[in-house]
């Protein structure tokens, strides 16, 4: 059979079967299935694209946050005293820095950042705030175990020992080395003879160190180390150190006052000084006729008679009386004692208060001796009361105390008394007035750490502000310690379990259920 015959000899049954019409219902089902597949592909593609975009955005956000975390404060401090922040005074001071400052902690960063010990964690957060608020300050952590020779680079500037946990603050001018213990105030329990940390002075010490290494001409102070009846000896040293003064101690009986000393601090000597030592104080303040020196004298009601010191102070127009000051008005005193008096600082025409961060806070005069000003002005000398009581105050002397013990009646004289004052003497140098100053505080307890570190009193701020004004240290700041013993954000076990349930179970379960609902809704469209 030829090919043409094969082509023409087509099976009519087969041809008819091929042309049999399809079932309309099946055709519609196929069309629906095709449309569903296209819709599924469409929504699936969109969902995939959205997932990819969201994942990319999350990754991008994390990258951006990682890059800016070192330059932007992304944490919120909910502690009452903002213990993990630095004060506005420090921030303002950092804005004046115009040279690089490097802070190097000779400890690996993980030790600080993950420590459960709150004082390490607080120090770490405070350290980070310096770099966040000043581009000139850099922070670095060095593990001395892994890099034991790193400290050798500071040998030319620092002759002391740099050990593990040291904190090095340096500029091109000088260096200051702190220890971890320098960041905290420690209190001794004399019943158990155990020590405990009372408050943090991390900001105090770090800001002070930065001030010291950047100051072109830092002021030097010496504290007379002698038998004292006062309570604030160490705290006065800490307070001045913490505010940019370079403080050291000398024994006035065996050592001379250094020629480069700008300030001498005498804290409540129990007994009087001999004439030779008082003459050295005269010579220090006179400075060869050039003046420009400052003496801080802190009195205390527990001192023995000090006739030579009293005669010296009288030449500066100041007389310290016997006894302690009380106040008959209970609104001016503490509930604990009529001799703990709260006075508000008169800021009118008072340059000594210019450095206060909050002039409305009271200054506590604690068992202060009365200070009398012997003149307002006299030749090239002048005096000024820096703290004065109300006119309801009185002086309670030892004789009056004995009289009360013997059942005798006493009569108090009510008047306003000074508890902190300054005497000044000036000369001219190139038509410019140059001063020497004597700052007198009526009680050592007025400068005790419990008062100077409290943020609701002005004792620390006002003392530093007055000293800065007298010495011309106008760039100084007053920084007090922060008490970390107060309750912060505490979570008990029940609250922790509830929070864990919400974030680990409830939120993921809700997300899963939402996904299931969306899935079935899309499936049945």
Provide the pLDDT confidence category of residue 215 given band limits of 50, 70 and 90. Answer: confident
Question: Per residue in 473-518, pLDDT tens?
Answer: 865 565 656 665 544 444 455 655 776 676 677 777 777 777 777 7
Instruction: Give the model's pLDDT for residue 380.
Output: 92
In the chain, the N- to C-terminal Cα span, in Å, equals 59
Instruction: Give the model's pLDDT for residue 513.
Output: 77
Provide the pLDDT confidence category of residue 180 given band limits of 50, 70 and 90. Answer: confident
Q: Which residues contact 426 (CB under 8 A, 6 or more apart)?
A: 291, 380, 433, 434, 435, 436
Instruction: Give the model's pLDDT for residue 419.
Output: 97
Instruction: Give the model's pLDDT for residue 488.
Output: 41
Question: Per residue in 99-145, pLDDT tens?
Answer: 999 999 998 888 777 766 666 788 888 889 999 889 999 999 998 88
Instruction: Give the model's pLDDT for residue 16.
Output: 47
Instruction: Give the model's pLDDT for residue 78.
Output: 44
Provide the pLDDT confidence category of residue 435 given band limits of 50, 70 and 90. Answer: very high
**Answer CATH for 218-474 from 3.40.50.880, 3.30.390.50, 2.40.110.10, 3.40.50.300:** 3.40.50.880
Instruction: Give the model's pLDDT for residue 50.
Output: 66
Element (H, E) at 150: none
Q: Where are the domains of the chain?
A: 26-68, 80-215, 218-474, 491-523
User: Once rounded to an integer, what is the mean pLDDT over residues 80-96?
Assistant: 78
The answer to whether 80-215 and 218-474 have equal CATH topology is no
Inter-residue contact 157 to 175 (CB < 8 Å): yes
Residue 2: is its pLDDT beyond 60?
no
Task: Please state which of the ranges 59-63, 249-253, 302-306, 426-430 shows the lowest mean pLDDT.
Answer: 59-63
Instruction: Give the model's pLDDT for residue 66.
Output: 57
> Per DSSP, what are the bridge partners of residue 425?
381, 436
Question: Per residue in 235-267, pLDDT tens?
Answer: 888 888 777 788 899 999 899 999 999 999 999
Element (H, E) at 388: strand 381-388
Q: pLDDT: is 98 or 197 the higher one?
A: 98
Residue 306: is its pLDDT beyond 90?
yes
How far apart are alpha carbons 139 and 135 in whole angstroms?
11
Longest distance between any two alpha carbons in the chain, whole Å: 157
> How much of the chain, in percent, has pLDDT values that exceed 70?
75
Q: Say if strands 194-200 and 184-189 run parallel, antiparallel, or are unpaired.
A: antiparallel
Question: Per residue in 381-391, pLDDT tens?
Answer: 999 999 999 99
Element (H, E) at 127: helix 118-133
User: Once rounded to an integer, what is the mean pLDDT over residues 217-232?
Assistant: 82
User: Once rounded to an integer, what is the mean pLDDT over residues 334-353?
Assistant: 89
Question: Per residue in 438-470, pLDDT tens?
Answer: 999 999 999 988 888 777 899 988 999 999 999
Q: pLDDT: is 519 or 506 the higher one?
A: 506
**3-state secondary structure string across 243-278:** CCCEEEEECCCCCCCCCCCCEEEEECECCCCCHHHH
Mean pLDDT, the chain, integer? 81
CATH 3.40.30.10 fits 80-215, yes or no: yes
Closest CA to 322 of 306, 308, 343, 298: 306
User: Once rounded to an integer, what is the mean pLDDT over residues 315-324?
Assistant: 96
User: Once rounded to an integer, what is the mean pLDDT over residues 27-49?
Assistant: 61
User: Once rounded to an integer, what is the mean pLDDT over residues 411-427?
Assistant: 94
DSSP state of 504: I
Question: Per residue in 153-167, pLDDT tens?
Answer: 888 888 778 888 899
User: Once rounded to an integer, what is the mean pLDDT over residues 305-323?
Assistant: 96
How far apart are alpha carbons 320 and 317 in whole angstroms?
10
Instruction: Give the model's pLDDT for residue 474.
Output: 61
Whether the full predicted model's pTM is greater than 0.75, yes or no, is: no
Task: Please state which of the ranges 28-32, 287-291, 329-333 shows the lowest mean pLDDT.
Answer: 28-32
Instruction: Give the model's pLDDT for residue 358.
Output: 83
């Amino acid at each position: 059979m030829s090919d043409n015959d094969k082509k023409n000899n087509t099976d009519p049954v087969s041809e008819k079967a091929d042309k049999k019409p399809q079932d309309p219902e099946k055709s519609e089902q196929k069309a629906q299935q095709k449309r569903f597949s296209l819709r599924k592909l469409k929504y699936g593609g969109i969902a995939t694209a959205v997932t990819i975009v969201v994942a990319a955005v999350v990754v991008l956000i994390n990258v951006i946050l990682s890059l800016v975390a070192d330059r932007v404060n992304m944490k919120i401090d909910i502690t009452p005293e903002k213990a993990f922040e630095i004060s506005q005074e420090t921030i303002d001071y950092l804005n004046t820095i115009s040279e690089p400052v490097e802070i190097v902690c000779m400890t690996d960063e993980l030790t600080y950042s993950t420590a459960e010990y709150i004082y390490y964690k607080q120090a770490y957060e405070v350290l980070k705030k310096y770099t966040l608020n000043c581009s000139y300050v850099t922070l670095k952590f060095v593990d001395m175990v892994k890099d034991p020779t790193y400290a050798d680079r500071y040998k030319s500037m620092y002759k002391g020992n740099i050990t593990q946990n040291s904190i090095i603050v340096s500029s091109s001018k000088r260096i200051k080395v702190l220890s971890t213990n320098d960041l905290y105030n420690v209190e001794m329990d004399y019943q158990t003879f155990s020590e405990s940390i009372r408050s943090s002075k991390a900001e105090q010490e770090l800001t002070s160190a930065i001030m010291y290494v950047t100051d072109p001409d830092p002021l030097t102070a010496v504290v007379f180390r002698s038998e004292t009846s006062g309570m604030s000896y160490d705290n006065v040293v800490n307070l001045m150190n913490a505010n940019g003064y370079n403080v050291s101690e000398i024994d006035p009986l065996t050592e001379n006052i250094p020629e480069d000393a700008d300030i001498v601090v005498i804290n409540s000597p129990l007994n009087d000084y001999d004439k030779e030592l008082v003459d050295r104080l005269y010579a220090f303040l006179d400075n060869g006729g050039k003046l420009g020196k400052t003496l801080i004298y802190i009195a205390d009601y527990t001192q023995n008679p000090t006739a030579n010191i009293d005669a010296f102070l009288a030449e500066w127009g100041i007389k310290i009386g016997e006894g302690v000051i009380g106040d008959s008005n209970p609104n001016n005193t503490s509930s604990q004692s009529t001799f703990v008096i709260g006075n508000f600082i008169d800021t009118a025409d008072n340059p000594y208060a210019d450095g206060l961060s909050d002039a409305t806070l009271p200054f506590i005069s604690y068992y202060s001796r009365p200070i009398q000003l012997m003149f307002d002005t006299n030749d090239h000398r002048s005096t000024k009361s820096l703290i004065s009581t109300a006119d309801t105050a009185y002086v309670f002397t030892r004789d009056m105390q004995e009289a009360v013990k013997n059942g005798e009646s006493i009569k108090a004289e009510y008047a306003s008394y000074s508890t902190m004052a300054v005497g000044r003497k000036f000369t001219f140098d190139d038509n410019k007035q140059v001063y020497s100053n004597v700052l007198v505080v009526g009680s050592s307890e007025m400068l005790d750490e419990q008062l100077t570190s409290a943020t609701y009193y002005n004792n620390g701020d006002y003392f530093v502000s007055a000293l800065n004004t007298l010495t011309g240290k106008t760039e100084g700041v007053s920084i007090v310690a922060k008490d970390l013993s107060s309750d912060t954000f505490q979570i008990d076990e029940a609250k922790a379990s509830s929070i864990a349930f919400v974030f680990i179970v409830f939120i993921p379960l809700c997300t899963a259920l939402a996904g299931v609902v969306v899935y079935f809704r899309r499936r049945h469209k």
